[in-house]
Structure formats: structure tokens, C-alpha cells
């Protein structure tokens, strides 16, 4: 395939994170973020490969204006990385929810775009900014291929016994209530990295990937496929997170409605924004602060660390049982990549699964940190890089398909 330049866009409600990658090897040539889109003053942070990061104030009333600033800066003759925006061959868009309609990334045409819009009901907070990003990108770069990469797609390989809840089956049929799982691009990317490191095809590996950041999830990757994952219908289920509660008895919110007359919005806020680390510690959700305060003797901060690690451990045990074995555990995300003490707490007592950490390697955040049969890895995730990788994969497949069709004619 010809060398390509790929722009990756990760649009949140008030931000656009971006990266420019060059194939082959998906070398990142620039990255940055526009924040506080819609405010009177927005901020723009930009970093060119091997250069200092700089930041300035800009005006970006909406995602379209923000993208305009990004493209101008990328093609700025003095500080940019493109001679012209026409050099961009493809744009990769992170799309949070693809429902049951997307089990892999897809080139965006009218039908695909409509399906992404149809998923808004499932992700009313996340899909709309993704859609705004796609619209702005189509407007500014109609000449480039547009590819959607879904957080949920990797988990579409789950079987019904893993993705269904034991609720009235009609809820699934009528309202699409089921486990979707998230962080899929990251889980898939780090699993692929492990396969390359150990020079073993993913098809021969049973892995448990722990993506531990402010949002956190665990996935059982069996023969390269997601067979179970801790996040569910929304990212609220599963692990204890920065501000999300993770698994709880579903009767608890009902009880709070009855005894405190709480509304759906209040419960949503509490379970998503005021729980997890934040809820237990009384206001802290940054692991670095929690570790410091625990060290200084705060019992609640220590408790939060123990609850978090215990929940991850519980999922590792469960997923090893589901897969009937385990070749490796992978840690990624801000916490997974950086906190040796959390990894230690999680892996303590798991020697029955062949897991034992090398204490120095673990403290140094080395790539391989285990001493026994089951390998334990620390692999930095890179969502934008993973999206660029997917874009190339999709376009390569499309080219092969077109070539076959041509040969057939």
C-alpha cells in the first residue's frame, strides 16, 4: 500500500484530541488537543514530533471551528507538519457506541453515518460529539476517506451467555438492553502488542487485559476475541473507577428512590460522578493523590485502594475460569501502566494461576514483569495510534476486496 497520512480525531463533548500519523509504521508526526470548545475562550495544545509542546488561546464556538484551527495549524508553513491539508488521505474517528451494528471499523458512507446516528439512543452523551466531528471533517476534508472506529466493536464477538442480562428477554429485543463493553480499541491494541512481543499468534493465547485508568475495564481475550468484559450496557458496570461505582446490587438505586425520593438524574450523577474512588475517599479520584494520602495514614484512601485491587483480582479469577486457563495478564491505562503498587496488590495471592511479579521489574514499569508460568505485561495503550492502525487495516481490506472484484470482472 502507498504511504498515507492519517488524521485521527477523538471528539468529546467539549474537546477534540487529534493525532497525525504517517504509514508505514504509523509514525506519529503531530498531536494535540482543543479543549473547552463552546466557551468564550478555548485552549489549543500542539506538539510536533521531537519538538516542544506549546499552548495558546483560541476561539472555537463548535467542533467545526475547532477543526478549522487544527487544520490551519497542521498546514502552517512555519510550525505545521503538512504542506497542504490535501495531503491527508484518511481521517479516523473514534466513535463510542456502534451498538450491534458494527463488529469492526467501517468506512463512513451515508448508510454507515445513519447507523451511527441510530446509536445515539444508546450513548446520548458520547455519540453526538463523535457525529459532530464526522460532520465537521466531511465538510473540511471531503477529499479524504473517513473511517469510524468503535469502542464497542471488539466486544461484539461475545456470545449471548456473556452479553445478555437475566432480565425479561423482551428488554433485549425491544430496547437493545445487553452488555456492549467499551475500551475495545485499547483492549484489542494491547492484546495485539503482546502477541507481537511474544511472537505468538493471538489465536494461540488466552489473555486478560486490564485497562485501568479513570475509567477502567477488564476483558477476557480468548484466541484474539473478546469473550467477556466488565463494562456493560454503559461504562458504569464492572470495576471500581475514578468516579463510577462499578458493580453494585441493582436494588440499591431502587431503595434510594424509595427512601430519598431520588430522581433518575440525581442517581445518574451519584453513580457516575460521585462514587468509585471519589465516593469512598470523600472527593479524591486521582490515584496518585490517593496513594499519597494512604501512605500518610488515611484509612479511607487505603480502603479505596484495596477495594479497587480486590475487584480487579475478582475479575481476573472469573475470566481465567471462563477461558479455562490463562497465558498472560496485561496492564494498561494511566493506573495500569504506572502504579507498581496497585499491580502488586492485584497480583498478590494469584500464584495459584501461575502469576508472580518480579518486584524490581514491576517497580520499574518494565514491559514483562512476571517470574512464573503466566506472563504479566505492562503495555502503554495509545488510542489514537490504535485508531490509525485500524484505519490502515480497513483501507487495506477494502483495496484487496476491490482488486478481487476487478480480477473477477
Regarding 286 and contact with ligand AMP (CB under 6 A), the answer is yes
Question: What is the H or E stretch that residue 317 is in?
Answer: helix 299-323
What stretches of 105-231 adopt beta strand conformation (E)?
106-107, 145-150, 206-212, 216-222, 225-229
Tell me the C-alpha distance between 356 and 361, whole Å: 12
Q: How many chain residues bind ligand AMP (CB under 6 A)?
A: 11
CB atoms within 10 A of CB 136: 22
Map residues 46-85 to x or -, x wherever contact with ligand AMP holds by CB under 6 A.
Answer: ----------------------------------------
Contact 244, 276 (CB under 8 A): yes
Q: Whose Cβ is closer to ligand AMP: residue 335's or residue 387's?
A: 335
Please give the span between the terminal C-alpha atoms of the chain, in angstroms, as a whole number: 22
Q: Whose Cβ is closer to ligand AMP: residue 288's or residue 300's?
A: 288
Nearest residue to ligand AMP, scored by beta-carbon proximity: 334
Query: And the C-alpha cell for 280?
Result: 469512598
| Residues in contact with 221: Cβ distance below 8 Å, sequence separation at least 6, in sequence order | 187, 188, 191, 202, 205, 206, 207, 208, 209, 227
By three-state DSSP, how is residue 400 classified? helix
Using the CB atoms, write b or e for 378-409: b if 16+ within 10 Å: bbbbbbbbbbbbbbbebbeeeeeeeeeeeeee
Of the candidates 92, 124, 1, 51, the residue with the CA atom closest to the CA atom of residue 382: 92
Catalytic residue among 50, 62, 121, 151: 151
Q: Whose Cβ is closer to ligand AMP: residue 27's or residue 288's?
A: 288
Stretch that binds ligand AMP, among 253-261, 280-288, 383-391, 400-408 (CB under 6 A): 280-288
Regarding 279 and contact with ligand AMP (CB under 6 A), the answer is no
DSSP state of 19: E
CB-count exposure of residue 50 (10 Å: 0-12, 13-18, 19+): exposed
List C-alpha distances in Å: 48 to 45, 340, 366.
10, 31, 27
Q: Whose Cβ is closer to ligand AMP: residue 137's or residue 275's?
A: 275
Among residues 99, 242, 246, 253, the one that binds ligand AMP under rule CB under 6 A: 242
Q: Whose Cβ is closer to ligand AMP: residue 338's or residue 371's?
A: 338
Regarding 288 and contact with ligand AMP (CB under 6 A), the answer is yes
Q: Whose Cβ is closer to ligand AMP: residue 135's or residue 338's?
A: 338
Stretch that binds ligand AMP, among 4-12, 89-97, 161-169, 283-291 (CB under 6 A): 283-291
Q: Whose Cβ is closer to ligand AMP: residue 61's or residue 288's?
A: 288
Regarding 36 and contact with ligand AMP (CB under 6 A), the answer is no
Among residues 214, 270, 298, 363, the one that binds ligand AMP under rule CB under 6 A: 214
CB of 287 to ligand AMP, least distance (A): 4
* Cis amide leading into 378 (omega within 30): no
CB of 10 to ligand AMP, least distance (A): 13
Q: Could you confirm whether 382 is annotated as catalytic?
A: no
Footprint on residues 319-378 left by ligand AMP (CB under 6 A): 333-335, 338-339
Regarding 243 and contact with ligand AMP (CB under 6 A), the answer is no
CB of 390 to ligand AMP, least distance (A): 19
Regarding 158 and contact with ligand AMP (CB under 6 A), the answer is no
**Which residues are at the interface with ligand AMP (CB under 6 A)?**
213-214, 242, 286-288, 333-335, 338-339
Just list the catalytic residues.
151
Amino acid at each position: 500500500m502507498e504511504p498515507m497520512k492519517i488524521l485521527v480525531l477523538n471528539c468529546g463533548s467539549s474537546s477534540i484530541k487529534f493525532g497525525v500519523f504517517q504509514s508505514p509504521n504509523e509514525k506519529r508526526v503531530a498531536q494535540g488537543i482543543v479543549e473547552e470548545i463552546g466557551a468564550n475562550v478555548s485552549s489549543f495544545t500542539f506538539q510536533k514530533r521531537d519538538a516542544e509542546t506549546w499552548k495558546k488561546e483560541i476561539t472555537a464556538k463548535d467542533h467545526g471551528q475547532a477543526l478549522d484551527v487544527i487544520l490551519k495549524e497542521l498546514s502552517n508553513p512555519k510550525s505545521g507538519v503538512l504542506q497542504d491539508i490535501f495531503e491527508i488521505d484518511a481521517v479516523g474517528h473514534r466513535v463510542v457506541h456502534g451498538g450491534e451494528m458494527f463488529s469492526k471499523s467501517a468506512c463512513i458512507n451515508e448508510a454507515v453515518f445513519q447507523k451511527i446516528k441510530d446509536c445515539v439512543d444508546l450513548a446520548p452523551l458520547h455519540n453526538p460529539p463523535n457525529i459532530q466531528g464526522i460532520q465537521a471533517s466531511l465538510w473540511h476534508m471531503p477529499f479524504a476517506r473517513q473511517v469510524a472506529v468503535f469502542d464497542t466493536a471488539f466486544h461484539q464477538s461475545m456470545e449471548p451467555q456473556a452479553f445478555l442480562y437475566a432480565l425479561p428477554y423482551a428488554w433485549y429485543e425491544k430496547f437493545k438492553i445487553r452488555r456492549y463493553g467499551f475500551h475495545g480499541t485499547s483492549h484489542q491494541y494491547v492484546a495485539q502488542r503482546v502477541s507481537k512481543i511474544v511472537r505468538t499468534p493471538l489465536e494461540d493465547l488466552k489473555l486478560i487485559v486490564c485497562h485501568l485508568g479513570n475509567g477502567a475495564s477488564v476483558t477476557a481475550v480468548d484466541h484474539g476475541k473478546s469473550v467477556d468484559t466488565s463494562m456493560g450496557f454503559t461504562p458504569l458496570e464492572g470495576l471500581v473507577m475514578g468516579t463510577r461505582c462499578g458493580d453494585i446490587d441493582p436494588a440499591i438505586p431502587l431503595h434510594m428512590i424509595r427512601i430519598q425520593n431520588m430522581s433518575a438524574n440525581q442517581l445518574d450523577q451519584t453513580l457516575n460522578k460521585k462514587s468509585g474512588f471519589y465516593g469512598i475517599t470523600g472527593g479524591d479520584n486521582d490515584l496518585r493523590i490517593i496513594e499519597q494520602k494512604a501512605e500518610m495514614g488515611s484509612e479511607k484512601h487505603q480502603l479505596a485502594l484495596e477495594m479497587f485491587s480486590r475487584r480487579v483480582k475478582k475479575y481476573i479469577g472469573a475470566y481465567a475460569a471462563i477461558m479455562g486457563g490463562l497465558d498472560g495478564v496485561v496492564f494498561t491505562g494511566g493506573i495500569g501502566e504506572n502504579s507498581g503498587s496497585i499491580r502488586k496488590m492485584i497480583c498478590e495471592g494469584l500464584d495459584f494461576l501461575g502469576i508472580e511479579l518480579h518486584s524490581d521489574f514491576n517497580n520499574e514499569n518494565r514491559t514483562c514483569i512476571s517470574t512464573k508460568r503466566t506472563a504479566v505485561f505492562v503495555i502503554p495503550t495509545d488510542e489514537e495510534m490504535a485508531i490509525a492502525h485500524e484505519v490502515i487495516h480497513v483501507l487495506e481490506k477494502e483495496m484487496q476486496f476491490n482488486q478481487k472484484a476487478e480480477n473477477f470482472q
